[in-house]
A = this chain, B = another copy of it.
């Protein structure tokens, strides 16, 4: 049998799920909603990942499950964080090195090798990225958050969006001015 030691490192998705559970017990379905509403813009696992991760967390003693029968709704499994789970999350935050960033940026790759392509199409890609950033900015600007940690992530989102917008505007201008 496979005995997994408690000190084995969490995957990022496992840590994210434990983190969400630290806000209270939830089902897999609830977690998916939560992700969208909170960490969604910097962490978005596939739903199948969430369902894959949950039983593993239970096996490792990081979470407990309780089956909840519902009438009028399908039954659900509600997971809650255990003390060991909270410790594991703490360890992950404190000890797991965060990989250096900026990492893997396909758009930049397109720009860097952009001379072989149509400049108009390239500009359109950049414009699209800018529109996304503008939408993110408006979305984040409207959030009133009183938790310090959540506020910091929002502020990062705003800082990031601002950087994208400034960069994109200039890039759009300069690439439009170049012959194609």
Residues of A within 8 A of B (CB): 12, 15-16, 18-19, 22, 38-39, 41-44, 86, 89-90, 92-94, 96, 98-118, 121-122, 125, 129, 132, 147-150, 152-153, 155-157, 159-160, 162-164, 166-167, 170-171, 174-175, 178
Given contacts A19-B112, A38-B112, A174-B148, contact A157 B43 (CB under 8 A): no
A112: nearest chain-B partner, CB-CB? B153
Tally of this chain's copies: 2
In the bound complex, residues from chain B placing their C-beta under 8 Å from that of A43 are: 104-105, 108-109
Contacts A15-B106, A160-B163 known; list 6 others, CB within 8 Å. Answer: A12-B106, A19-B109, A19-B112, A43-B108, A100-B129, A152-B174
